[in-house]
Amino acid sequence: MPPLALFDLDNTLIDRLGAFRLWAAEFAAGRGLGQDAVRWLVRLDADGSVPMDVFFARVRERFGLAEPVGELWRDYRGRLPYLVECRGGVLAGLDRLRAAGWAVGIVTNGMADNQTGKIRRTGLAGRVDGWAISGAEGVRKPDTRLFEIAAVRCGAVLEGGWMVGDDPDKDVAGGHAAGLRTIWIDRGTGVPAPTADLAVDDVLAAVEALIRMSGGGDAR
């Protein structure tokens, strides 16, 4: 069985914050809300830490919008996949990781339509063996069950595997509790560093570290 490398999606494989900033600028421009609104939206989102139903309830109230919260949120989920991208080199890095014998998967919290759209639009869908999305499975990171689902989709087991992600609790603590070794992506946001097996400053460095572990050759 191949060794397993699981990756978080938002702000690990893809630049979710960059996409959110683009969305906020579009949203404000489309409604004539101005630059202050863009900054307010980005601040309110707090790097994705606010549940989006709560976020859009606040947005609706602040700007006196007529659309129901559900509609604002749905429009956002429909648009975001078109605004996200992988950092340069990520897709090729995943190809090399798989060529080195790893099973590669994505484990992510979020709505199924939004996360699936991002995975497909960025080209990640063709670069991984499987994925597990909380909104589709009814269980969220850090719950071990979401990691287990991802492992099964990848034709692998958690034992001996690794989890790569930027969130200290959902990715690092969650991955550790699931029996995985962990690589923390330190985005320089000032959050306290978790106890990970390795800390790097971007996902490409994590991919390189995993490839080195397998000797750069066939690990199967």
Binding residues vs Mg ion (CB under 5 A): 8, 10-11, 166-167
DSSP letter (8 states) at residue 10? B
The answer to whether 69 and 53 have CB atoms below 8 angstroms apart is yes
- Residue 6 CB, nearest approach to Mg ion (Å): 12
Nearer to Mg ion among residue 149 and residue 164 (C-beta):
164
Nearer to Mg ion among residue 37 and residue 124 (C-beta):
124
In three-state form (DSSP H/G/I as H, E/B as E, the rest C), the secondary structure along 35-92 is HHHHHHHHHHHHHHCCCHHHHHHHHHHHHCCCCCHHHHHHHHHHHHHHCCCECCCHHH
- Residue 9 CB, nearest approach to Mg ion (Å): 7
Nearer to Mg ion among residue 10 and residue 129 (C-beta):
10
Q: What is the Cα–Cα distance from 191 to 180, expressed in whole angstroms?
A: 22
- Residue 48 CB, nearest approach to Mg ion (Å): 7
- Angle at CA of residue 191, ends 186 and 197, nearest 5°: 45
Q: What is the Cα–Cα distance from 67 to 107, expressed in whole angstroms?
A: 32
Q: For residue 194, say if its preceding peptide bond is cis, omega within 30 degrees of 0.
A: no
Q: What is the Cα–Cα distance from 122 to 83, expressed in whole angstroms?
A: 9
